[in-house]
Amino acid sequence: MATDLETKGYITAITERDMATGDMVLNIGPQHPSTHGVLRVVARLDGEQVISAEPVLGYMHRAFEKLAEQRSPMQNTALFNRLDWVSGFCNEVPYCIACEKLAGIEVPKRAQVQRVILFELTRLASHAMFCGIYGLELGALTPPMYGYRDREYALDLLEMCTGQRMHTNWARIGGVKEDFPEGFYERIPPILEYYRTRIEQWLEFLIDNDIFVKRTRGIGVLPVDVALDYGVSGPNLRASGIAVDARKEEEYLGYMDYEFEVPVGNRGDCFDRYVQRVREMWESCNIIEQALDDLPPGAINTGVGRTFKVPAGEIYIRADGPRGENGYYLISTGAKEPYRLKIRTGSFSNVSVLPYLLKDTYLPDIVAILGSLDFVVGDIDR
Amino acid sequence: MSESLLLLPVRGVVVFLVALLSQIPLLYGLLKISAHQMDRLGPMYPGRFHGIGQPIAEFVKWIQKEDIVPRTADAPVFRLAPLVALLPAFGVFAVIPVAPGLVGAESELALLFVLALSAVGAIAVVMAAYASQSKFTLVGGLRAVGQIIAYELPLVLGAISIAMLAGTLSLTEIVEAQAIPYALWPFPFGAIAFLLFVLSCFAEVLWPPFDMPVAESEIIAGPYTEYSGMRFIFFYMSEFAHVIALSAVGTLLFLGGWRGPILPPVIWFVLKVSAFVVFFIWARFTLPRLREDQLQKFAWKLLIPLGLVNVLGIAVFKVLT
Amino acid sequence: MKAPNRVTDDSAIREVEERQRRRFKLPAFGIFESMKVTLRTMLSKAVTVQYPEERIELPERTRGVIALLEENCTVCMLCSKDCPCWCIYIEGHKVQKPGKRKPVNELDRFAIDYGLCMYCGICVEVCPFDALHWSPYFEYNSYTYEGMIHESDVLQEWQHHVLPPPPLVADADPKAQELQQVAHDKRLDGVWGVIREQDKKDAYRAAETAAAAGLAPPTAGVSSDTLPEEAPASSAVQAPAAPEPATAAEAAAPQAAEPATTPSDTERVSTPAPAAPAADLGDIPRIDPNNLPDGIGPVERGRLKKLAEFQHRGEAPPTDPVDLLAVLKPILDQMRG
């Protein structure tokens, strides 16, 4: 008190003593409209300012890795759809690639291209939903409806090809299950056109909106080195300013044959993360178009049977999903079931950076930042 | 004298019914307009024809819900808060003239009465927030009271500008003084006052873009989180009543009230109020919400100085003309 | 960790920011942009499809409910074993059929618990006998958990909803396209066209009976056609033993005890083996499903069997989705004359 008097002056010191407030611990979640599932954030608040916040994970732990140890490859494919359920197909593919690489199976080109098309369609669906949902985090009630409506078009295509909208269970070891049905090619260009116009409209609707900019510019700035330290991946990392994309770095699914840019942000704030995903939707449209041109005739599966046993060995495969990088570390001992399958999901690492991001922000910013990381709790907790 | 005393309860009941029943088209309009904004249809089944019975269905649904008072809540205050929110909102309807001579209670201080009653809502929110004894409600309540107090001033400044221009606080006379609606002339004073009034309306009823206190994505329902059933609906009814009342006051002050060619005054009034309300609903569902400190800065650093300058400008204008 | 040197290309964001900088000359105009977008949506038609009055036409591959073709099920338990949710309940028992060396599986109970089913499709995919089929029907719901367990009679009812699989794109693998086309044509009539295991077994038995009784064996086309490519199917058919007409009658008894099979099956089995067709029914020749003329493709065979079924019941053959008599006219003429 004496030092306060000296440094700050009598009136300031007295005022601060009288007006001092205590901290409040506020549990955001696990049941909450805004945490994308059952994520709990324990926030220490001083009024509206956040002193510290840390996420508590595990409310949705379903023991996927243990379950995978007792399931054959086809059953595992059906299971991994449920990891990041918003983009179901994107979780099946890396597992199939892992088994194929271990077994040395060459996947026919046509199957690769079909996988790319479905993968990017799923990415479009996921990002379209994100663009809408993020508006809801910030309080605009209309964008999520637009997001869901846009997502429907991609889901319709997925349903036409695979039979299911989200949990497609379509990738198989050696390719995909079946070829496209008649009429599939004709339906794609109008839908891509639609997505491209919708991207323009998102730019008008939210990105040009002053209030949106005010709420997201400069909020939750994630510098690149911090992001790399925490293992952030996917659009979050790219928005921080560095072009790390597993599609360009790993040679899988023939992505190196397609020309697409990896968009990059420059400030790493929530606004950049939002625009990043909008730009990635655009790039996904480009990829799908190129893939359609690239579709060679041929088989879509090398015909691996039901009793396929994955040869012994270990391998790590990573793929770039809409949430971040999906990695599957597969250790096999020659049986149908993996001996150990470690799933590295993008959302888990993305959420680990929350204590850093949420320091010294306001309570509403917590929600804005959580939303901009675009995680799915099933992906975090597996 | 005795005649007007006899009519008093009748007037009261009529005003109450108007306040209550005007919310039915408002609710229906809100549901339908917001739905079409979101590219969906809204209620279609209740009442057979495009969901016209939805407001009644909602009322019936809410009225039969369980009345929960949390154990640790301060029960008397908890129970009283919705009424404190509702009654002033309904009270404002008493002085709003719908057509010349068609008013609940003719008063020379109508504008003052309206502004005073709108401010009472702040107390209700704080009562609800503190009595609920919950952290979420506390945060919401504090935000709400800060916001309402901050935005009272632009509201008052906007209204005062018009009162100065018209030279009276009586709503009827303000309308009669508007040969050209005040929103258009004198420019820019009327327009600025209009802008201040509209923005403050959003903030007074806690609607987006100023709905930080009731931010559903963060604090669930803000100060109303612990309420259920009719008490919850009282708060929302007070909100809707406020919307209609403030829209009505806005048309009276800025859009010329019931003035207009050809159609009878009541029809013009209803049309103008509906236009106002539609604009509110449209903006409510489109815009994200401003953060609490941002909206406070917006009020204190932008709107209030602007309002004061506006008042000064009108004073100069009045002196010069 | 220091950021590695990678090519950073932020031209896209620059573009967006440039756009924004240009726009923000007047403050708050961005808000009007947003409101313009919602106004446009407000004034255009809503995209809602008002279920249940309006329905979206679902693609053929949509995974709704699974239909069971009980005749084809040989209780191999592959679907039950591979189901990740263990929601398929199969009970069967082995029955020693006279004249066979090994016992034969018989299905007692086949139920799918749709409360557990995750619609992965593994069961449909692994079934070697075409006993399970997807259908886009999804409006089966129940007020109880028990109601979500569909027993085999309910599962067989879903056969009506099974759609023919769609043909593949033009540049698919030709062999796959061919198979797809065959499957499509078969199922155009519903799952009738799918070859029924029972028919195969009956045909085989009939062939053995005829051979043992010293009669002329049925036309070669029967045996080669009723035992088609499905190799596992033939393993279910047992090694020949000494058949007699009495054997066929004894075989009929356990068949009759089988629950939920169509009565026509048992009666068909109990008809004596001889291949000569009986008297004409109207002007349609009597079709013996065990002894179809040779040289017909599998689709026509299925249709002939369907016609035989209706003949047996004494009903008029159906006209939708395919007018049976019309499409079979050339073959019937051939059989007649």
In chain C the domains, ranked by start, together with CATH numbers, are 65-163 (3.30.70.3270), 166-270 (no CATH), 280-337 (no CATH)
pLDDT value of residue B24: 92
Portion of chain C with pLDDT greater than 70, in percent: 62
Q: What's the rounded Cα separation, in Å, for the pair A73 and C125?
A: 14
Flag if C38 and B41 touch (Cβ within 8 Å): no
**Cβ contact B209–A211 (<8 Å):** yes
Q: A281 CA to chain C: closest CA distance, Å?
A: 13
- Name the residue in chain C with its Cα closest to that of B283: C35
Burial class (CB in 10 A: 0-12, 13-18, 19+), A172: buried
Neighbours of chain C (3+ CB pairs under 8 A): A, B
Query: What pLDDT was estimated at residue A330?
Result: 92
Q: Whole-angstrom Cα distance, residue A355 to residue A41?
A: 9
Cβ of A139 under 8 Å from any chain B Cβ? yes
Between C324-336 and C298-313, two packed helices, what is the crossing angle to 10 degrees?
A: 90
**How far is residue B100's CA from residue B93's CA, in Å, rounded to a whole number?**
15
Q: Do B286 and C41 touch (CB under 8 A)?
A: no
Q: CB neighbours of C81 closer than 8 A, spacing ≥ 6?
A: none
Flag if A139 and B288 touch (Cβ within 8 Å): yes
Please, what is the average pLDDT of chain B? 86
How far, in Å, CA of B214 to CA of B208, rounded?
9
- Which residues are CB-neighbours of C30 under 8 A, at least 6 positions away? A208, A209, A210, A211, A212, A213, C23, C24
- The domains found in chain A, sorted by start residue, are 63-381 (1.10.645.10)
Which chain B residues touch C36 with a CB distance below 8 Å? none
What is the mean pLDDT for each group of 10 consecutive residues in chain A (382 residues)?
A: 61 73 79 76 84 88 92 90 90 91 89 93 93 87 90 91 90 89 90 86 80 87 91 91 86 84 86 90 89 85 80 91 92 90 92 90 87 90 88
ipTM: 0.85
Are the C-beta atoms of residues C219 and C301 closer than 8 Å to each other?
A: no
Nearest CA in chain C to A70: C84
What pLDDT, on the 0 to 100 scale, is given for residue A122? 94
CB A99 within 8 A of CB A77: no
The answer to whether the CB of A302 falls within 8 A of the CB of A108 is: yes
Give the C-alpha separation, B117 to B186, whole Å.
Answer: 28
Instruction: Tell me the nearest-neighbour CA distance from B149 into chain C, angstroms.
Output: 24
Residue B183 contacts residue B191 (beta carbons within 8 Å): yes
Q: Which residues of A touch C1 (CB under 8 A)?
A: 225, 228-229
Give dist(CA A281, CA A134) in Å, integer: 15
DSSP run (H or E) holding C88: strand C88-95
B37, C47: Cβ pair inside 8 Å? Answer: no
Which residues, 6+ apart, have CB-to-CB distance to C222 below 8 Å?
Answer: C203, C206, C207, C290, C291, C292, C294
Q: Is the pLDDT of residue C219 over 60?
A: no
A193 touching C (Cβ < 8 Å): no
Using a CB-CB cut-off of 8 Å, the residues of chain A touching C23 are 208
pLDDT of residue C16: 67
Q: Is the pLDDT of residue C245 over 70?
A: no
Q: Which residues of B touch C34 (CB under 8 A)?
A: 286-287
321 residues of chain B, pLDDT tens digit each? 566 778 888 888 989 998 999 999 999 999 999 999 988 988 988 888 888 889 999 889 988 988 888 888 888 898 899 999 999 999 899 888 888 877 777 888 889 999 999 888 888 888 888 888 877 777 788 888 888 889 999 999 999 888 888 888 888 888 888 877 877 777 788 888 998 999 999 988 888 888 878 765 565 677 888 888 888 889 889 999 999 999 999 998 888 888 888 888 889 899 999 999 999 999 998 888 888 888 889 899 999 999 999 999 989 988 888
Chain C closest-CA separation from residue A94 CA (Å): 18
Q: What helix, strand, coil percent values describe chain A, rounded to 5?
A: 50, 15, 35
Contacts for C86 with CB less than 8 Å, ≥ 6 apart: C80, C116
Give the pLDDT band (50/70/90) at residue C117: very high
> Which of 118-147 (B) contact A at CB < 8 A?
135-136, 139, 142-143
- For residue A315, the SS3 value is strand
